Amino acid sequence: MNGLEEAFMTLSVGLKTLAEGIMVISKQVDQLADNSASARTKSIVKRTSKKIPAAKKIQSKKNVPKEIKTEKTEDNRTASDIVYELVKNSNNGANYAYIMEKTGFKRKKVANIFFNLKRQGKIKSVDKGVYILP
């Protein structure tokens, strides 16, 4: 039994030493974490405390009203007015090719005008690319 008791005593001393070492390491880790947290807090405070000049503030796209560009012709009509008149005067509806031929507008411009007129409820689509008055 004497040898077994010595082994347990040695094991007990070793475990106590190991526990003390773990405690020392734990305190060091806590100090590092505290230092790191305070450094991050100071950095965040520095970054957020800077004032942004009023001229450099960025506005949200959601709150900015969209400016609609209206190009007027010689007789003071917009491109949308011209396309609307052509649709109104057509018997079977107006399509892209017809509007492009009569006005000289490019396809993208005609598509945008049709989209806006349709959204405003001034025209409606009866077939793909063919529009009439509602």
- For 4-13, how does the pLDDT look when each residue is reduced to its tens digit (9 = 90+)? 888 888 999 9
| 29 found inside a domain | yes
Let me know: does 96 contact 130? Beta carbons within 8 Å. no
Q: How many domains does the chain divide into? A: 2
Domain residues for the domain of 38 are 1-50
Please tell me the pTM assigned to this model.
Answer: 0.46
Statement to judge: residues 85 and 41 lie in one domain: no
Run of H or E including 77:
none
**CB-CB contact of 91 with 97 (8 Å):** no
pLDDT at 127: 85
pLDDT for 73-115, tens place per residue? 667 788 999 999 999 998 888 999 999 999 999 999 999 999 9
Q: Is the pLDDT of residue 67 over 60?
A: no
Q: Any idea what the CATH number is for the domain that residue 110 is in?
A: 1.10.10
